[in-house]
């Protein structure tokens, strides 16, 4: 695959992931309204969110290996079709049981799509270009979130279920376009500069060495705190500040805009200057401070300012960890993507459940809990997360030391 075709394929993947997260974010402003219609408590919302994550947790490792075995395109296309159907089911659902079924299908779709997309990008990029490509992937995700809530808030004026139906149509259309236009990258497409001889032999077992387990642990802890924060953001501002769907849309859109700008302008330069691990450390510290600040603010515009910036740290953590793992994954990109998704999903199972229980006790408790967990992640990253020694020994060997 030549350079021009690679750029076209990357653009298609970015469009796919953008549209999927556009569809996901369409429904965010109306979720509190749906929950109020069904008289659902914070605990049930937590279990509903956890159902998505638990399914993704179970399926992700298998999906990652399937992406290595059967190809990235197949997993992406199947995941997109399942996503479209899950959103349709949620829009039609009038009982909590149907909503749970929808979230389970959504978890399957997420498990299929994310590892396959990450592996696809890794296949057609080099070590030098991969951080920028993964940064653009995260920016595409954020851009979907920028546009989605605003459109969702507008569509909610027509009907509270309209955003879900819109997301379903978008998912199906993107699945069809991917089936027709996306080309499976071959193993030979990967540039020889991409991996050293030793890195190309990286095995699944070596990816579970202590250095990588610590990285996965940081993913888990950071995602745990993030899940406790994100899962109840709409309900939090709805209950505490009486935010309307349009207010929620503005808050999320503003946060996504700031996050996207930071990813596009800062991520690649920061990766070169300080490395992925230091980016994660700084982002964790920033996130903990701002999550706690959410419990202290009361003025509308101060709330907006904190919301606009609170997601910056989270938005830099994701591509930084993904880049770190991809850089050391060798020819196991799908496996690593699956493990990344596995630990993220594991956190997303327990974070919303605990957060939901705390929400019913005190509306601020989920955010206290989230800030505490993120601080624990920061401590782990500071004390224990280092570059793998394998990488250092390879460089020394190359220089003849």
pLDDT per position as a tens digit, 346-371: 777 777 778 778 888 888 888 898 88
Task: Return the minimum-mean-pLDDT range out of 94-103, 194-203, 220-229.
Answer: 194-203
Q: Which two tokens stand for residue 304?
A: 């907006």
Q: Where are the domains of the chain?
A: 3-185+202-398
Please tell me the pTM assigned to this model: 0.65
Higher pLDDT, 388 or 203: 388
Question: Which of the 8 DSSP states describes residue 190?
Answer: S
Residues 6+ apart with CB under 8 A from 365: 358, 359
Are the beta carbons of 111 and 345 closer than 8 angstroms?
yes
Q: 230: which residues sit within 8 A by CB, 6+ positions away?
A: none
| CA-CA-CA-CA dihedral for 296, 298, 299, 303, to nearest 10 | 60
253-288: per-residue pLDDT in tens?
A: 777 778 778 877 888 888 888 888 899 899 889 989
Contact 262, 130 (CB under 8 A): no
Q: Is residue 95 classed exposed, middle or buried when 0-12, 13-18 and 19+ CB atoms within 10 A define those classes? A: exposed
What does the alpha-carbon distance between residue 148 and residue 155 come to, in Å, rounded to a whole number?
A: 10
Write out the two tokens for 324: 């770190």
Residue 333 banded pLDDT, cuts 50, 70, 90: low
Tokens of 26: 């369409």
CATH class label, 3-185+202-398: mainly alpha
Q: Do residues 335 and 44 touch, judged by C-beta distance below 8 A? A: no
Radius of gyration for the chain, computed over Cα atoms and rounded to the nearest angstrom? 20
Q: What is the pLDDT of residue 54?
A: 81
CA angle 149, 169, 337 (to 5 degrees): 75
More confident residue, 365 or 330: 365
- Residue of 5, 97, 111 whose CA lies nearest to 57: 111
Instruction: Output the furthest CA–CA distance in the chain (Å, rounded).
Output: 69
d(CA 342, CA 323): 16
């Amino acid at each position: 695959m030549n350079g021009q075709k690679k750029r076209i394929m990357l653009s298609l993947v970015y469009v796919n992931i953008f549209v999927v997260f556009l569809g996901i974010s369409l429904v965010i402003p109306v979720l509190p309204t749906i929950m109020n219609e069904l008289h659902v408590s914070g605990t049930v919302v937590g279990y509903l969110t956890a159902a998505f994550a638990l399914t993704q947790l179970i399926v992700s490792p298998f999906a990652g290996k399937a992406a290595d075995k059967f190809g990235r395109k197949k997993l992406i296309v199947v995941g997109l079709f399942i996503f479209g159907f899950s959103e349709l089911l949620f829009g039609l659902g009038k009982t909590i049981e149907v909503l749970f079924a929808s979230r389970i299908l959504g978890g399957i779709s997420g498990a299929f799509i994310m590892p396959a997309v990450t592996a696809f990008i890794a296949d057609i990029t080099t070590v030098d270009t991969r951080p920028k490509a993964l940064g653009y992937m995260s920016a595409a995700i954020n851009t979907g979130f920028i546009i989605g809530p605003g459109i969702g808030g507008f569509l909610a004026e027509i009907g509270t279920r309209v955003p879900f139906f819109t997301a379903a149509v978008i998912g199906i259309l993107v699945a069809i376009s991917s089936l027709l236009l996306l080309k499976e990258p071959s193993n030979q497409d990967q540039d020889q500069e991409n991996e050293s001889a030793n890195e190309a032999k990286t095995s699944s077992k070596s990816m579970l060495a202590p250095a990588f387990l610590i990285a996965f642990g940081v993913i888990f802890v950071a995602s745990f705190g993030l899940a406790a924060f994100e899962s109840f953001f709409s309900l939090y501002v709805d209950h505490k500040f009486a935010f309307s769907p349009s207010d929620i849309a503005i808050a999320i859109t503003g946060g996504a805009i700031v996050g996207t700008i930071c990813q596009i302008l800062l991520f690649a330069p920061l990766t070169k200057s300080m490395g992925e691990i230091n980016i994660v450390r700084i982002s964790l510290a920033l996130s903990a401070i701002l999550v706690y600040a959410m419990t202290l603010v009361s003025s509308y515009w101060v709330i907006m300012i904190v919301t606009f910036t609170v997601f910056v740290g989270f938005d830099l953590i994701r591509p930084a960890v993904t880049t770190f793992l991809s850089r050391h994954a060798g020819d196991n990109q799908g496996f690593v993507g699956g493990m990344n998704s596995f630990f993220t999903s594991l956190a997303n199972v327990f974070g919303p459940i605990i957060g939901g229980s705390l929400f019913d006790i005190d509306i601020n408790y989920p955010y206290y809990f989230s800030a505490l967990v993120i601080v624990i992640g920061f401590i782990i990253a500071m004390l224990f997360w280092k570059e793998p020694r394998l990488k250092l020994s390879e460089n020394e060997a190359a220089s003849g030391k």
